[in-house]
């Protein structure tokens, strides 16, 4: 397992960096926010990202992808984190394509994955039903009928829910309220009768929606994976997404820290640069160290995803390691981002606040540090 | 690739043949092989193991064969350490010569000096100690005042060092001395090597809070040192001193490495992993019953694992033969703080059982935890304090300005 980028990954990273800075700076997110953009992302930008191959990065070549691995997708996500790019990359590619790849049958993969690569299909995962991530606490029901299934329930914080062509709905076809058994996963076109989607506005200005399913009828072919045993594939997909998300968080915290350092070397008080105060220097040095650890964790976790020998439980441990550590440090760095800028850090005109807002949503998404420390402990046998 | 594969196979075979059985069990404190003129081997196999490894130069695998080292490249040395780890092999030799002095001699010393000192380090024949700190010069090391004056072919050394680890057991000392009092403090320091058996050298052991006394006050009273024992240029010792500290810090940072692992060298002790100890003392079977302690331990283990990847990444990133750089301060600081956290958590796991000092009511292992916990407090002091490491990171790695320099402007 290599902890440094290989040459191809480094080239990809450099080009992703240049692309994001030129084409998707933070001012784009600001514009989407200020204009209350109906879709919450820029379709032209997304098509450019598709043209660069980002939508097919980790998808196998047989389905039109580029087999660049999660290591490749990871460096792209890291760079999008630097400029807080709002795009379907996480909901459609990192979550959606991964779920189809992990759970779908041959026909589903052949039908859907090439369309994701081509940028023709947007997906959204309708999973959580509570204020915090709880992937086994599924009350949405899936009732088998002769022809297929009927879904009922409601889903919160569905990323890209209001722009997706298809929803990936996690429902319970059997089993107790908090059980891993009895979970089934369905592909539901967003315009199916009985599906009500309401956009919610989150602090990070990214897309999110509430999805209510009332008597939603889907055919048997909508099922992803087996009836009642979808959890293993769902969990593995979530773990992959957690690691990808950690890569994005890494980029955001590196950017926040770079901006802090710039300010420490530029702002003067008491006749000296504020970066000469030891109280700030030690905090900066501590942040640097923590970010270095985060970087190692993300590299190790991405490498594990591309290692054919890695088991699902090893990946689970890496995912919780990464999401716990990155969430903890994201909180630290985003808070210091405000504090070390003083008053200007509190102004909306200044960009640092966007990093704080994104950090908290990313921390919560797919499980916060408490969730993942608990899971890491359980996976480590204590 | 092919050659590396062959190297791995031959290494594995050689180790199978040559590593004695007891050298594949976890190291015990009083069997650590420090080498030196007066080396004693409680376990005779330690001696065999040292001699076999030294003969191949594998006590210092990457050092040039010219000076007795193993001559391995970076990839080969990684393979060697993996193969050693695979059989849980003990270090054949532990010494300040290997971890601190040797690397700077290779970088700064003359060929003659290398020929004289390096092979003896590789073979563990001479044990070195570090004469840096003085009573008045700790963190502000460059203010040191031990004096060396040149008279003919000899330097006369006068002064006192303190906290000199194992000075009473060492054969030679690498010592920072002031050779010019007129210039700014960093510009008047030289790096001098001398025999601790020289007339005028004396040591007085100091007891630590843990009860052991591994370090000393060291006094120099008109010690005569041949002028040829100066390493690098006259008054150019500070750069060597700093370089050596980077090696020292990298070495110390490894204290943080074993701390998160649940199977330290195959030891079966419950103390080997904090969570195992915590569950054992609470009678927990599957899950640690105290949720707060469980979260603290999880946090600690996550940091330990992240730290282990970071240490590995820094090795992967370093170029062949380049050695450590200023990031060694980050590794040193983080590794030491982790090791201290580990012992604080062990204390929480064991409660009063970790607070015994001696005698009845405690197992030997519990008493050892008490002593090791106390010893761990030194981790963030020795090799430069944690605060000093943070200063180094701020200035050397992050490029933040120096307040003292700014205020003077
Ligand atoms: C177990 C052990 C073994 C050792 N072995 C050796 C050895 O073999 N050879 C050797 O030469 N030395 C050795 N040392 C000495 C060690 O290097 C010094 O103790 C260390 O450098 C600190 O110096 P000091 O003790 O004088 O503390 P001081 O420098 O007096 O520090 C006191 C406190 O002030 C803080 N401080 C000082 N300056 C600053 C600053 N600029 N900014 C912020 N805070 C600051 C320190 O961090 C510390 O908390 C050893 C020490 C220990 C504990």
Rounded to 5 degrees, φ, ψ at B88 are: 55, 35
Of A177, A198, A224, the domain-final residue: A224
Question: What rounded mean pLDDT belongs to chain B?
Answer: 93
How far is B409 from B395, CA to CA, in rounded Å?
A: 18
Q: What is the pLDDT of residues A116-130, one digit of tens each?
A: 999 999 999 999 999
The verdict on residue A366 lying in a domain is yes
Neighbours of B322 (CB within 10 A): 9
Nearest to A285 among B306, B398, B403 (CB): B398
Q: What is the pLDDT of residue B270?
A: 78
Which residues of chain B are in CATH 1.10.540.10 domains?
Answer: 2-95+114-123
Asked if A236 and A338 sit in the same domain, the reply is: yes
pLDDT at position B266 over 70: no
**Count of CB atoms situated within 10 Å of the CB of A120:** 12
B348-370: pLDDT as tens digits = 999 999 999 999 999 999 999 99
CA-to-CA distance for A224 and B369, rounded, in angstroms? Answer: 53
In whole angstroms, give the CA distance from residue A57 to residue A236.
18
CATH number at residue A152: 2.40.110.10
For residues A339 and B24, give the distance between their C-alpha atoms in angstroms, rounded to a whole number: 52
Q: Which residues contact B43 (CB under 8 A, 6 or more apart)?
A: B22, B31
Query: Which residues are CB-contacts of A241 (< 8 A; sequence separation ≥ 6)?
Result: A90, A94, A95, A98, A366
Closest atom of ligand 1 to B137 CA is: 26
pLDDT tens digits, one per residue of B65-109? 999 999 999 889 989 999 999 999 999 999 999 999 999 999 999
Residues in chain B with CB shorter than 8 Å from the CB of A289 are: 330, 333-334, 393
Tokens representing residue A205 in the block = 């200005």
Ligand 1 atom closest to the CA of B141, numbered from 1: 21
> Is the sign of the CA dihedral A265, A271, A276, A282 positive or negative?
negative
Closest in A264, A288, A377 to B330, CB measured: A288
Query: Percent of chain B having pLDDT more than 70?
Result: 95
> Do you know the residue count of chain B?
409
Q: How far is CA A32 from the centre of its chain?
A: 19
Q: Which two tokens stand for residue B30?
A: 């009083």
Gap from B129 CA to chain A (nearest CA, Å): 30
Query: What is the band of A30 on the pLDDT scale with cuts at 50, 70, 90?
Result: very high
Q: What are phi and psi of A85, to 5 degrees?
A: -70, 125
Angle ∠(B278,B280,B285) on CA atoms, nearest 5? 105
Question: From CA B219, how far away is CA A199, in angstroms rounded?
Answer: 77
Same-domain check for residues A95 and A183: no
**A252 shares a domain with A323:** yes
Query: A151 falls in which pLDDT band (50, 70, 90)?
Result: very high
A32 within 8 A of A41, measured Cβ to Cβ? yes
Residues A286 and A177 in one domain: no
Instruction: Say whether both A51 and A110 belong to one domain.
Output: yes
Residue with the smallest CA separation from ligand 1 atom 37 is B139
- Cα–Cα nearest to B131, from B216, B228, B214: B216
Nearest CA in chain B to A374: B295
Supply the residues of B annotated as catalytic.
248
Would the CB atoms of B403 and A292 count as touching at under 8 Å? Answer: no
Whole-angstrom Cα distance, residue A281 to residue B390? 8
Statement to judge: residues A197 and A94 lie in one domain = no
- Note the helical H segments in chain A: 7-23, 26-34, 43-51, 69-82, 98-103, 106-117, 231-264, 278-305, 312-339, 352-364, 369-379
Ligand 1 atom 13, closest CA = B163
Q: Is the pLDDT of residue B267 over 80?
A: no
CA of B73 vs chain A CAs: smallest distance (Å): 18
Q: What is the pLDDT at residue A163? A: 97
Same domain, A112 and A31: yes
Kindly state whether residues A294 and A335 are assigned to the same domain: yes
Residues of A whose CB is below 8 A from B303: 293, 325
How many angstroms does the Cα of residue B378 sit away from the middle of ligand 1? 9
pLDDT at position B408 is 66
User: Residue A61 is part of which domain span?
Assistant: 7-120
| Beta carbon of B215 within 6 Å of any ligand 1 atom | yes
Q: pLDDT, tens digit, for every residue of B295-304?
A: 999 999 999 9
B69: tokens are: 């080292």
Do the chains contact at A288 and B287, CB–CB below 8 Å?
A: no
Gap from CA of B203 to ligand 1 centroid (Å): 19
Q: What is the domain class of B2-95+114-123 according to CATH? A: mainly alpha
Which of A293, A313, A150 has its CA nearest to residue A223? A150
pTM equals 0.94
Give me the number of domains chain A comprises.
3
Residues of A in contact with B387 (CB under 8 A): 282
What's the CATH architecture for B243-400? Answer: Up-down Bundle (1.20)
Give the C-alpha separation, A86 to A78, whole Å. Answer: 13
This complex has an ipTM of 0.96
Q: What is the mean pLDDT of residues B189-206?
A: 98
B6: left (phi over 0), alpha (psi -120 to 50) or beta: alpha
Dihedral of CA A340/A343/A346/A352: which sign? negative
Q: Is A182 helix (H, G, I), strand (E, B) or coil?
A: coil
Pull the structure tokens for residue B340.
């201290």
Is the shortest distance between the CB of B34 and ligand 1 below 6 Å? no
Within-domain flag for A1: no
Per-residue model confidence (pLDDT) at position B15: 97
pLDDT in tens, A10-28: 999 999 999 999 999 999 9
Atom 3 in ligand 1: which residue has the minimum CA distance? B382
A2 is a domain residue = no
Residue contact B403–A376, C-beta within 8 A: no
Rounded-to-integer distance, Cα B224 and Cα B299, Å: 54
- 8-state DSSP, B379: G
Q: Where in chain B is the domain with CATH 1.20.140.10?
A: 243-400
Alpha-carbon torsion (A71, A73, A74, A80), positive or negative: positive
* Pairwise CB contact (< 8 Å): A380 & B298: yes
Average pLDDT, chain A: 97
Residue A50 is assigned to a structural domain of this protein: yes
For residue A64, give the DSSP letter. T
Question: Same structural domain for residues A241 and A374?
Answer: yes
Is the same domain home to A216 and A151?
Answer: yes
Subunit contact B390:A294, Cβ cutoff 8 A? no
Domain with CATH 2.40.110.10 in chain B: 128-235
- Residue A94 domain-assigned? yes
The Cα–Cα gap between B26 and B28 comes to 6
Tell if the CB–CB gap between A373 and B299 is shorter than 8 Å.
Answer: yes
CATH number of this structure's domain B128-235: 2.40.110.10
Output DSSP code: residue A90.
Answer: I
On whether both A94 and A149 belong to a single domain, the answer is: no
Ligand 1 atom at shortest distance from the alpha carbon of B383: 17
Which pairs count as long-range contacts for B349-355, CB under 8 Å and 24+ apart, including other chains?
A: B349/B274, B349/B277, B349/B278, B349/B281, B349/B293, B349/B297, B350/B277, B350/B281, B351/B281, B353/B281
Rounded Cα–Cα distance for residues B212 and B365 (Å)? 16
Is B374 touching ligand 1 by the criterion CB < 6 Å?
no
- Selection from B249, B394, B266, B267 nearest residue B334 by Cα: B249
Buried b (16+ CB within 10 A) or exposed e, A336-361: bbbebbeeebeeeeebbbbbbbbbbb
- Residue ending a domain, choose from A65, A89, A120: A120
Residue at a domain's end among A120, A151, A182: A120
Nearest CB to B310: which of A264, A286, A292? A292
A96 in the same domain as A12: yes
CATH number of the domain bearing residue A248: 1.20.140.10
């Amino acid at each position: 397992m290599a902890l440094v980028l290989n040459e191809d990954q480094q080239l990809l990273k450099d080009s992703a960096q240049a692309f994001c800075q030129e084409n998707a700076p933070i001012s784009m997110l600001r514009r989407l926010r200020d204009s209350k953009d109906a879709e919450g992302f820029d379709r032209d930008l997304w098509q450019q990202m598709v043209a660069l191959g980002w939508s097919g990065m980790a998808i196998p070549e047989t389905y039109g992808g580029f087999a660049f691995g999660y290591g490749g997708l990871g460096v792209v996500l890291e760079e999008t984190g630097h400029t807080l790019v709002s795009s379907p990359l996480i909901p459609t590619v990192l979550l959606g394509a991964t779920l189809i790849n992990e759970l779908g049958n041959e026909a589903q993969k052949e039908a859907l994955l090439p369309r994701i690569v081509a940028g023709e299909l947007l997906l959204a995962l309708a999973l959580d039903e509570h204020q915090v991530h709880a992937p086994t606490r599924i009350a949405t029901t899936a009732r088998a009928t002769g022809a297929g299934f009927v879904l009922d329930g409601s889903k919160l914080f569905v990323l890209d829910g209001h722009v997706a062509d298809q929803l990936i709905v996690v429902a319970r076809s059997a089993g107790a309220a908090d059980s891993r058994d009895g979970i089934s996963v369905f592909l539901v076109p967003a315009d199916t009768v009985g599906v009500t989607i309401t956009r919610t506005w989150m602090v990070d200005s990214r897309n999110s929606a509430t999805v209510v399913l009332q008597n939603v009828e889907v055919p048997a072919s909508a099922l992803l994976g087996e009836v009642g045993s979808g959890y293993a594939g769902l969990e593995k997909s979530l773990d992959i997404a957690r690691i990808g998300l950690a890569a994005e968080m890494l980029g955001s915290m590196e950017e926040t820290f770079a901006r802090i350092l710039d300010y420490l070397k530029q702002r003067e008080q008491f006749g000296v640069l504020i970066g000469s105060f030891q109280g700030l220097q030690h905090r900066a040095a501590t942040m640097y160290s923590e970010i270095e650890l985060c970087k190692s964790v993300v590299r190790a976790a991405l490498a594990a995803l591309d290692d054919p020998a890695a088991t699902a439980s090893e990946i689970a441990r890496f995912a919780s390691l990464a999401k716990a550590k990155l969430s903890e440090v994201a909180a630290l760095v985003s808070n210091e981002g405000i504090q070390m800028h003083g008053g200007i850090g509190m102004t909306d005109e200044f960009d640092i606040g966007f990093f704080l807002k994104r950090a908290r949503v990313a921390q919560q998404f797919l499980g916060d540090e408490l969730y993942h420390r608990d899971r890491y402990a359980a996976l480590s046998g204590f | 690739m092919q050659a590396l594969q062959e190297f791995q196979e031959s290494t594995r075979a050689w180790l199978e043949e040559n590593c004695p059985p007891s050298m594949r069990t976890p190291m015990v404190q009083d069997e650590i092989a420090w080498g030196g003129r007066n080396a004693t081997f409680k376990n005779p196999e330690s001696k065999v193991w040292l001699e076999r490894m030294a003969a191949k130069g594998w006590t210092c695998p990457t050092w040039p064969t010219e000076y007795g080292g193993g001559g391995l490249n970076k990839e080969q040395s990684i393979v060697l350490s993996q193969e050693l780890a695979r059989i849980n092999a003990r270090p054949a030799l532990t010494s300040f010569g290997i971890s601190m002095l040797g690397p700077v001699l290779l970088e700064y010393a003359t060929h003659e000096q290398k020929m004289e000192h390096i092979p003896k380090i590789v073979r563990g024949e001479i044990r070195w100690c570090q004469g840096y700190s003085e009573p008045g010069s700790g963190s502000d090391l460059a203010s040191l005042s031990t004096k060396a004056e040149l008279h003919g072919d000899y330097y006369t050394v006068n002064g006192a060092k303190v906290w000199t680890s194992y000075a009473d057991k060492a054969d030679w000392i690498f010592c920072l001395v002031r050779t010019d009092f007129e210039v700014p403090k960093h510009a008047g320091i030289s790096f001098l090597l001398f025999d601790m058996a020289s007339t005028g050298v004396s040591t007085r052991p100091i007891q630590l809070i843990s009860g052991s006394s591994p370090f000393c006050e060291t006094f120099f009273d008109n010690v005569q040192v041949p002028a040829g024992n100066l390493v690098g240029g006259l008054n150019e010792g500070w750069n060597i001193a700093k370089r050596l500290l980077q090696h020292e810090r990298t070495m110390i940072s490894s204290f943080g490495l074993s701390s998160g692992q649940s199977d330290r060298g195959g030891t079966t002790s419950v103390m080997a992993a904090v969570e195992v100890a915590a569950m054992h003392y609470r009678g927990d079977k599957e899950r640690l019953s105290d949720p707060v302690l469980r979260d603290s331990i999880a946090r600690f283990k996550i940091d330990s694992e992240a730290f282990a990847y970071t240490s590995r990444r820094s090795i992967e990133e370093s170029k062949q033969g380049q050695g450590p750089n200023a990031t060694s301060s980050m590794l040193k600081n983080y590794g030491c703080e982790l090791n201290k956290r580990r012992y604080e958590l062990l204390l929480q796991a064991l409660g009063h059982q970790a607070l015994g000092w001696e005698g009845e009511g405690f197992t030997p292992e519990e008493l050892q935890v008490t002593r090791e916990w106390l010893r761990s407090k030194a981790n963030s002091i020795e090799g430069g304090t944690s605060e000093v490491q943070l200063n180094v990171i701020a200035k050397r790695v992050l490029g933040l300005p120096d307040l003292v320099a700014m205020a003077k402007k």
